[in-house]
Amino acid sequence: MDTSFPQGIRAALIDMDGVLYDSMPHHARAWHSMMTEQGIHTTPEEFFLYEGMTGAATIDLIFQREFNRQATDREKKDLYHRKTQLFVEGGRKTPMPGASGMLKAFMLASIPTVLVTGSGQNSLLDSLDADYPGAFPERMRVTAHDVSHGKPDPEPYIKGAQKAGVAPGEAIVVENAPLGVRAGKAAGCFTVAVTTGPIPREEFEKEGADMIFSSMHEFAEWLESQLPNKLSSRLDDAVGKLDPATVTVVTDSNVDMAVIPLFKGSETLSKANKVVIPPGEDHKNLESVTKIWNALEEKGATRKSIVVNIGGGLVTDIGGFAAATFKRGVRFINVPTTLLGAVDAATGGKTGINFNGLKNEIGAFHLPSEVIISAIPLSTLSHNEKISGYAEMLKTALIADAGLYRSLIDVEDVLSDPHRLEAAMKRCVEIKEDVVAQDPTEKGLRKILNFGHTAGHAFESLAISRHKPLAHGEAVAHGMLVELILSHMLKGFDSMEVHRYAGEILKPVYPRTGVTCDDIPLLIELMAHDKKNATAGKPNFTLLLEPGVPEIDCLPAIEDIKAALDIYIDMA
């Protein structure tokens, strides 16, 4: 038997019970207990054979055997409800050992995953996002509620392939139940069986499983050996095109632990010398840059060498500055690992360090040779880190692409879908690169990138002064509402769009600032001292005529800014 990964696979359709969760023993006990309460003789073991069928179909099967009739709709509803109670009372169901490794292998190979389960058990479905973040967005799930005919009918897996946008023959099915294998084969999918339950291997062979594994760990290890690591390949290809004399990788200790392992198999990382700096703004200083310079010197770096920065904005700023200044400029590649870094700091060519307590006081404009944009590293981020970066995506869309903005309004849907998120990230980078190409040193057009930042920086500074720091992206999200209000007041921006932003994006997603009317004078003072103001004491804004149509160098009267802040406090 061929033991290599099949060619042409573009999606993975994955069962839940017994594959993602070690839950089948709990299901079997719950079914058996419920049937026993009804005076119906069953054994827990037989329910492993029915795995994959809908609850209604399982009850019908038992009723046909015991009473020679189908159950009524009321009986199905009541009995399944009781089975669900018993299942929930059995306690939390643990993720299946090895399942995360399987999902990681598919993720690194850029193969989307679809949940295909005969269950409608909310207690497990609700756990998916916490246990397997980003793996199964809502639109990539087929449950008992979505089909007319459950497994062993092929309908669930045919629908799963449709959700992934592929033909069934381009999908791999991962199952642990004979009926599930039958359904996958009938749908025309390459079907893998993993024997995580008591059912013998022979039962899966009878159903025609293409491959059989004894555990999820074994399956995950096989996938890892067979599938390409697209993240590593993209890095190696980018470095290879530059044909560097030497390669130095710059990262921080957090990224080194959480993200660098995702580059397993990278030829670049295996040969490069690596500089690991401490995380945090306190280390965005000359000492960190000196550490990188010393590493370059020790490696014998020349102007044909390259620096590869793998990390968030702090790493790309410091690494880019070290590259800009070593031997008067060496090439560098940025691999942003945060959403904020990907759409903001990693592109545009601004590099720098903090000095004498001032942020980015020392720096240089130095464009990266390439920026590798991928949603894969974002799987290591917290939700708060993601929404902070998302604000910069919203900003970019609002100033340049109304269609992109519309697609980003449902924040949680986009964040939960890695492929949709990555496409949006790449579009944001395209927009920023186009703006930077036209205005590399921020003399005119590039000012549109400041939308939301004049008010946002004021919110950020106010929060710091109160020792309740507000993440940069969160501050910009609130700043954009202030500046949308000003856009409506002064430029005729549609008030419905202002309300949509406040009601559908800001309120549901971003934490409150706690700003009150008493804070308005200080906020205006902070805006008056923003470093981007062309004239001291006059807050300079980028405002919008409509989504995608910005206007730079707007100087509202102080009374207008005060009025906008008053309205903001009522709306936010």
CA 34 from centre of chain: 40
Mean pLDDT of 125-144: 87
What is the arithmetic mean of pLDDT over 67-83? 92
Residue carrying structure tokens 């870094």: 341
**Residue 228: left if φ>0, alpha if ψ -120 to 50, beta else—which one?**
beta
pLDDT level of residue 2 (50, 70, 90 thresholds): low
| Better-scored residue on pLDDT, 134 or 237 | 237
* Contacts (Cβ under 8 Å, ≥6 apart) of 256: 274, 276
> What SS3 class is residue 150?
coil
Long-range interactions of 563-568: CB distance < 8 A, separation 24+: 563/489, 564/482, 564/483, 564/485, 564/486, 564/489, 565/482, 565/515, 565/520, 565/523, 565/524, 566/517, 566/520, 567/485, 568/478, 568/481, 568/482, 568/485, 568/515
pLDDT score of 531: 66
For residues 209 and 190, give the distance between their C-alpha atoms in angstroms, rounded to a whole number. 8
Mean pLDDT (the chain, rounded): 92
Share of the chain above pLDDT 90, in %: 73
More confident residue, 229 or 55: 229
Amino acid 247: pLDDT: 97
pLDDT at 359: 73
Q: Give all domains of the chain, ordered by start, each with its CATH number.
A: 1-228 (3.40.50.1000), 230-377 (3.40.50.1970), 431-571 (1.20.1090.10)
237, 442, 245, 239: which is closest to 327 by C-alpha?
Answer: 245
Type of residue numbered 470: L
**pLDDT for the residue numbered 350:** 87
Q: pLDDT for 548-559, tens place per residue?
A: 999 999 999 999
Q: Where are the beta strands (DSSP E) in 397-447?
A: none
pLDDT of residue 274: 96
Question: What average pLDDT score do residues 32-57 get?
Answer: 87
Query: What's the one-letter identity of residue 489?
Result: M
Model pLDDT for residues 89-117, shown as the tens digit of each residue = 877 778 999 999 999 999 999 999 999 99
Single-letter amino acid, residue 386: K
Tokens of 313: 């904005």
Mean pLDDT, residues 369-380 taken together: 92
pLDDT one-digit tens code per residue, 156-189: 999 999 999 999 999 999 999 999 999 999 999 9
Distance CA 526, CA 462 (A): 8
**Rounded to the nearest 5 degrees, what angle is found at the Cα of 376, between the Cα atoms of 373 and 379?**
130
Q: CA–CA separation, 217 vs 204, rounded Å?
A: 18
Residue 122 is predicted with a pLDDT of: 74
Which is more confidently placed, 268 or 419?
A: 268
Residue 534 has pLDDT above 80, yes or no: no
**Band of pLDDT at residue 422, cut at 50, 70 and 90:** very high
Q: How confident is the model at residue 1 (pLDDT cuts 50, 70, 90)?
A: low
- pLDDT of 311 reads 96
**Strands 171-175 and 11-14, bridge-based pairing:** parallel
Cα–Cα distances in angstroms (integers) from residue 371 to residues 238, 334, 345, 363, 426, in the given order? 9, 5, 11, 19, 10
CA-derived radius of gyration, the chain: 28
Q: Is the pLDDT of residue 399 over 90?
A: yes
**Residue 251's pLDDT band (cuts 50, 70, 90):** very high
Tens of pLDDT, residue by residue over 449-458, are 999 999 999 9
Read off the pLDDT of each residue in 529-541 and give the average, rounded to a whole number.
76
How many angstroms separate the Cα of 260 from the Cα of each of 269, 337, 421, 496, 530? 9, 10, 21, 44, 37
Q: What is the pLDDT of residues 189-246, one digit of tens each?
A: 999 999 998 888 999 999 999 999 999 999 999 999 999 999 999 999 999 999 999 9
Task: Quote the pLDDT of residue 558.
Answer: 94
In the structure, what pLDDT confidence band is assigned to residue 533 with cuts at 50, 70 and 90?
Answer: low
Are 140 and 112 within 8 A, CB to CB? yes
CB 315 within 8 A of CB 251: yes
Q: What is the pLDDT of residue 448?
A: 92
Q: How confident is the model at residue 380 (pLDDT cuts 50, 70, 90)?
A: confident
